Structure 1
Amino acid sequence: MGASISGAMVDRDEGGSPMKPRLGDIPESCAALVLALLDPPEICKLARVNRSFHGASSADFIWESKLPSNYIFIVEKVLRDTTLLNLQKKQLYAGLCRPNPFDAGRKEIWLDKNTGGVCLSISSKALTITGIDDRRYWTHISTEESRYPTVAYLQQIWWFQVDGEVEFGFPVGTYSLFFRLQLGKSSKRLGRRVCNSKHIHGWEIKPVRFQLTTSEGQSVESRCYLDNPGNWVLYRVGDFVVQNPNAFTNIKFSLTQIDCTHTKGGLCVDAALIYPTTVAKEIRSCS
């Protein structure tokens, strides 16, 4: 009797043969447990498989596990928009993956969409640049090639120094800091990108020096020549490690070439950028 009852409960096809379980038969709760083990891009791909995975892909516990440990700090203290916390965690993740300006638009924060890693950008207007207010040396030029409306352009100077400082509550991890620079001034002419190299000089004589220090006593210094005119280049300043997610990390960094035996010029300074080191490797390999 037991066997006949069990057989009666099995779905059968038109020919009377038992039907095999289908992927769509997986309960949403089980599908959600599977999705929680995947990276965000994989979750989004599986959400298109069937209704079960689509419904499960919106579960808050999945996306909360993908958000950085400091996401409440980012929303409340950096972006100062607590209404974001009322969103579903999937919507919050998507919103934080977009560039979010703060500090009067001089900085941006976003999450790497593949890993949830915290990324920062500090514009040239948030940096301390020697001589920036003297139009004989520096100007702010409009551009469509930056996250920001303008970049700082150096025509000519003897003492070149750019300093930056940021204090932030980073999640635990290793981070890389870069300067985004370009030799030459680019613009569009008849719809085509052109680069004016008129003022480029002096960078081949001596290398520039990059420095980075943190409030935990970490220190990095490196030197390199600026090259590749007409192209934006990410110059790596160095890496730093965050071990305490509950403390603010103060980072000071600089870019200098202060040999006053010669002038240098023709350089665009866009921004300083901080990425999780794993994300930075992907960016550098694609650039």
Structure 2
Amino acid sequence: MAERTGVDFSRLPEGCISNVLSLTSPPEVCRFAMVSQVFFSAAASDTVWERFIPSDIDEILLRAVDRIEFSSKRELYFRLCNPILINDGKMSFFLEKSSGKKCYMLSARQLSITWTCTPRYWRWISVDNTRFEEVAELLNVCWLEIRGKLNTRQLSQHTRYAVYLVFNLSKASYGLGHPPQETSVKLGAHVSSHITRLKTPLKTEYSAYGYDYEVVSREDGWMEIELGEFDTECGDDGEVEMKLMEIKGGHWKRCLIVQGIEIRPRK
């Protein structure tokens, strides 16, 4: 670009370069930082990274379980790209690394799970490789229903979000492939619903229902399945409701381990 226009951008004031970089995106800033020492310095400026950090970050950090230490806005941004626990450890918050969009996971303790996890049917356990102190383990039920909700004021505006149930299955899991489950994500008049299965059924168990989404393995060792999607608008303070429930009850099932429901921007 400098050759075509005859402009040496590295001779611009560092503050001017920082202002321009703040109008790009985090990945682009990191690429520009490799152009020259001047760009490297400008790319580290608080002016740049403050643009990518949510305006309500101070309020969010007040809800953090552990104090978040940082020496610059750039350091804070990348610290928040890894989940932090908030709300007494019942939720986690993080930023999507490529955009700075806000993401949340509601822990199992924050959800409504079939009769509020009655000990006869569910139990609370501690496992490795989870964000939360406890997860919910299904012992034995004939009706499965998991619900969650979140006010969209906590999310980024003008963003399409997808909702995922994060779970695992133990070796003794049973009854989670058939019959299928129905999911729904509701915000105002908008409803996104699907038919899904938490476990791939045997060929003899397939029915006319079919299913829309399959289970996906996550890098953290858990699994997830999409429940639906929704869009946020400027100033929208509605409550998004998320649900997974059986289409037809009366079938016993066991050994489902629920970590929570994650809400993150659709890619």
Residues 41 and 114 in structure 1, CA contact (< 8 A), matched pair in contact too: yes
Aligned-partner SS, 2:38: helix
Gaps of 5+ in 1: 1-20, 185-196, 279-287
Which residue pairs with 1:11 in the alignment? none
Q: Deviation at 1:33?
A: 5.0
Aligned length: 238
TM-score, length-scaled by structure 2? 0.76
How many Å separate the matches in 1 of 2:254 and 2:22?
A: 51
User: What is the letter of the counterpart of residue 166 of structure 1?
Assistant: L
Q: Which runs of 4+ in 1 moved over 4 A?
A: 21-27, 228-231
Residues 212 and 251 in structure 1, CA contact (< 8 A), matched pair in contact too: yes
Which residue pairs with 1:61 in the alignment? 47
Which residue pairs with 1:206 in the alignment? 179
Residues 79 and 100 in structure 1, CA contact (< 8 A), matched pair in contact too: no
Aligned-partner SS, 2:166: strand
Write out per-residue CA displacement over residues 49-88 of structure 1, whole angstroms, 9 at most, x where no aligned residue: 5431222113333223323xxx233422x3337x98x974
Which residue pairs with 1:36 in the alignment? 22
Within the candidate set 107, 110, 119, 2:91 is matched to 107
TM-score, length-scaled by structure 1? 0.72
How many Å separate the matches in 1 of 2:186 and 2:164?
A: 13
Larger radius of gyration: 1
How many Å separate the matches in 2 of 1:163 and 1:235?
A: 14
Aligned-partner SS, 1:120: strand
Within the candidate set 136, 140, 145, 1:156 is matched to 140
Residues 143 and 250 in structure 2, CA contact (< 8 A), matched pair in contact too: no
How many Å separate the matches in 2 of 1:222 and 1:270?
A: 21
Q: Superposition RMSD on alpha carbons, in Å?
A: 3.0
How many Å separate the matches in 1 of 2:12 and 2:55?
A: 33
Q: Deviation at 1:210?
A: 0.8
Whether 1:261 and 2:250 are equivalent positions in the alignment is: yes
Alpha-carbon distance change, 249 to 95 in structure 1, aligned in 2, over 3 angstroms: farther
List aligned pairs for 1:143-222, cutoff 5 A.
143-169=127-153, 170=155, 171-184=157-170, 197-198=171-172, 200-214=173-187, 216-222=188-194
Residues 160 and 258 in structure 1, CA contact (< 8 A), matched pair in contact too: no
Gaps of 5+ in 2: 1-6, 201-214
Whether 1:270 and 2:259 are equivalent positions in the alignment is: yes
User: What is the letter of the counterpart of residue 218 of structure 1?
Assistant: H
